[in-house]
Amino acid sequence: MSKVGFLNPLNSMNLRQKTILLIAVIILVLVTIFLSSYSIDTSTMVTNFMARNQAPSFEHLFGTDWLGRDMFTRTIKGLGLSIMIGAIASILSSIVAMIMAFLSSINKYGDTLMAWLIDFFSSIPHLLLLIMISICLGKGAIGVIIGVAFTHWTSLARVLRVEIKEINTSEYVNLARRLGKGNLWVAKEHILPLVVTQIIVGTLLIFPHAIMHEASITFLGFGLSPHEPAIGIILSESMSYLTMGDWWLAFFPGAALLIVVLLFDILGEQIEKLLDPTKAQK
Amino acid sequence: MYLNANNISFAYKKNKPILKNISISIPDNKVIGLMGDSGSGKSTLCKVITGYIENYTGTVTLDREVINNKGYHPAQLIFQHPEKTMNPKWKMHKVLEESWNPPQELMDTFGLKDNWLGRWPNELSGGELQRFSILRALNPNTKFIIADEISTMLDAVTQVQIWDALLDYCKHNKIGILAVSHDKELLDVIADDIILFDDINKL
């Protein structure tokens, strides 16, 4: 038994190294998907009536649809688009969260207003608000991005608000002020280094939500326009062909979306473990 | 130079004052001891004097001038629990540098070892941390030290070493001390005068 353990390089690594390895692998997979969506040969994606409704084969890994388009290419394209929209939306969302947390730290009234706004936004079902914002902005990628950004900032803003409040009322910040240090010093030296972990992890954990919501409102027809190769579009189109037995039209794109979402989720958790070792003990 | 607290009143909860018209005056060449029961408001008075509590009535003055709480406060408070007064993500040298860079001799008289400077606060004991928090308060701009039970958690030998070093430094630099403690024997040794702080809620 011990010999086997010795030969397995994973056993000789400590938890930190394993975490870093896992993070590296996930980032590699995600970057590969993202880059290949832009470099992939799109000639297989054009309409080809000679190869309609083919089941998965080595030539067409994910099969073809009713217009003879290669589903593998379409899925990769869709995932690339999803990752990009997810990235922009989650970064925008954490910027909103940071602004809100900053406003709440200015004074008591700002704080009360922010607490109320956070409660207000999180009490409305995400999807409903998202659809409304998306329609108001004329659907499309911009509608989806702004919609996701303005519905997903609440959880991060809540965490940041509490964290900043805790640091701001701590005895060491109080003492720094008695040493004549101003607000800027306190923010730069005491608060920022402590909340930067929360911001990074928070942004990464918004990612899966952003991708899922992008896909679901596109599926419902309130998101991206039908000629874009989004996963939501692929899934909603495949609905009418599922009854004819073309299972691959929904199965592979759906599974791929799920895997990407899961990867982002794991990535966020692992990075949190790496940056905040006290959480890894739990 | 005198540090004066004039007619200080303060209440954490409305209608339940903890300090009622307290006046106290500390000269810069003496050590004043302050004794009293738990919950009598000793620590609250310390926080008022050093600017940690701001919504009190009355005035805190340095000679005749009201202290500006925005800049460096001439009266520095040293807490009973040093670990709370240090950013847990800062190494010890940064904790010290936030106030000033003390000379090597001073660090030696307080028994502060060089290799402690590169450690995190949670890697040092309470007594070791307390030396840092005392040294941090001895910034050249400090005129008065308010020591709120600073040696309660230390062993007898360390207590003597730290108080010796602190009294010596303050005598040479004309820093007045207000020493708060339960320990009558300690105050008998270090203090020139002792004030008994009665529980004003009973009055």
Q: What is the mean pLDDT of chain A?
A: 83
For residue A45, being part of any structural domain is answered with no
At A6 the pLDDT is 57
For residue A161, being part of any structural domain is answered with yes
Asked if B98 and A178 come within 8 Å (Cβ–Cβ), the reply is no
At A93 the pLDDT is 92
At A88 the pLDDT is 92
Asked if A174 and B79 come within 8 Å (Cβ–Cβ), the reply is no
- Average pLDDT of span A63-84: 82
Tens digit of pLDDT for each residue in B7-60?
A: 888 888 888 888 888 888 888 888 988 888 777 788 888 899 898 888 888 888
For residue A97, being part of any structural domain is answered with yes
Q: Count up the domains in chain A and report the number.
A: 1
The partner residue sitting opposite B99, judged by closest CB among A174, A179, A190, is A179
pLDDT class of A230 with cuts at 50, 70, 90: confident
For residue A59, being part of any structural domain is answered with no
Q: Which residues numbered 67-106 in B keep a CB inside 8 Å of some CB on A?
A: 70-73, 76-77, 79, 84-87, 89, 98-99
Q: Can you give the CATH number for the domain in which A173 is found?
A: 1.10.3720.10
A193 at B interface, C-beta within 8 A: yes
Instruction: Give the number of other CB atoms < 10 A from CB of residue A30.
Output: 17
Q: Is the pLDDT of residue B188 over 80?
A: yes
- Average pLDDT of span A204-220: 87
Tens digit of pLDDT for each residue in A136-156?
A: 988 788 888 898 888 888 989
Which among B163, B177, B98, B167 is positioned nearest to B131, based on CA atoms? B163
Q: Return the number of CB contacts < 8 Å for A and B.
A: 33
pLDDT class of A116 with cuts at 50, 70, 90: very high
For residue A39, being part of any structural domain is answered with no
Which among A85, A94, A61 is positioned nearest to A201, based on CA atoms? A94
Range with lowest mean pLDDT among A6-10, A206-210, A255-259: A6-10
Asked if B70 and A172 come within 8 Å (Cβ–Cβ), the reply is no
Asked if B139 and A179 come within 8 Å (Cβ–Cβ), the reply is yes
Among A170, A178, A191, A192, most B C-beta atoms within 10 A, so best to mutate, is A178
Tens digit of pLDDT for each residue in A172-202?
A: 998 998 888 888 888 888 888 888 888 988 8
At A241 the pLDDT is 81
Asked if A180 and B72 come within 8 Å (Cβ–Cβ), the reply is yes
- Give the single-character DSSP code of A70: B
Give the CA dihedral B124, B126, B129, B134, nearest 10 degrees.
Answer: -170
Q: Is the pLDDT of residue B202 over 50?
A: no
Range with lowest mean pLDDT among A36-40, A74-78, A159-163, A201-205: A36-40
Range with lowest mean pLDDT among A46-55, A237-246, B70-79, B106-115: A46-55
**Residue A157: domain span:** 16-34+72-277
Percent of chain A past pLDDT 70, that is, above it, reads 92
At A92 the pLDDT is 93
For residue A48, being part of any structural domain is answered with no
3-state SS, residue A9: coil
Q: Is the pLDDT of residue B201 over 50?
A: no
For residue A64, being part of any structural domain is answered with no
Q: Is the pLDDT of residue A95 over 90?
A: yes
At A281 the pLDDT is 52
For chain B, list the domains and their CATH numbers: 2-202 (3.40.50.300)
Which of A65-69, A254-258, B192-196 is the most confident on average? Answer: A254-258
The partner residue sitting opposite A172, judged by closest CB among B71, B76, B85, is B85
At A5 the pLDDT is 52
Residue of A nearest to B100 (CA): A179
Q: Say how many CA atoms lie within 13 Å of B60 toward its Cβ.
A: 23
At A282 the pLDDT is 47
- Chain A CB contacts of B70 under 8 Å are 180
Region of A138 on the Ramachandran plot (φ > 0 left; ψ -120 to 50 alpha; else beta)? left
At A277 the pLDDT is 61
pLDDT class of A280 with cuts at 50, 70, 90: low
At B57 the pLDDT is 86
- Chain B CB contacts of A181 under 8 Å are 98
For residue A49, being part of any structural domain is answered with no
At B24 the pLDDT is 86
> A273 exposed, middle or buried (CB, 10 Å; 0-12, 13-18, 19+)?
buried
pLDDT greater at residue A115 or residue B69: A115
Distance CA(B8)–CA(A80), nearest Å, equals 67
Instruction: Give the number of other CB atoms < 10 A from CB of residue A231.
Output: 28
∠ Cα B143 B148 B152 (to 5°):
130
pLDDT class of A1 with cuts at 50, 70, 90: very low
Q: Which residues numbered 33-72 in B keep a CB inside 8 Å of some CB on A?
A: 50-52, 70-72
Q: Is the pLDDT of residue A105 over 50?
A: yes
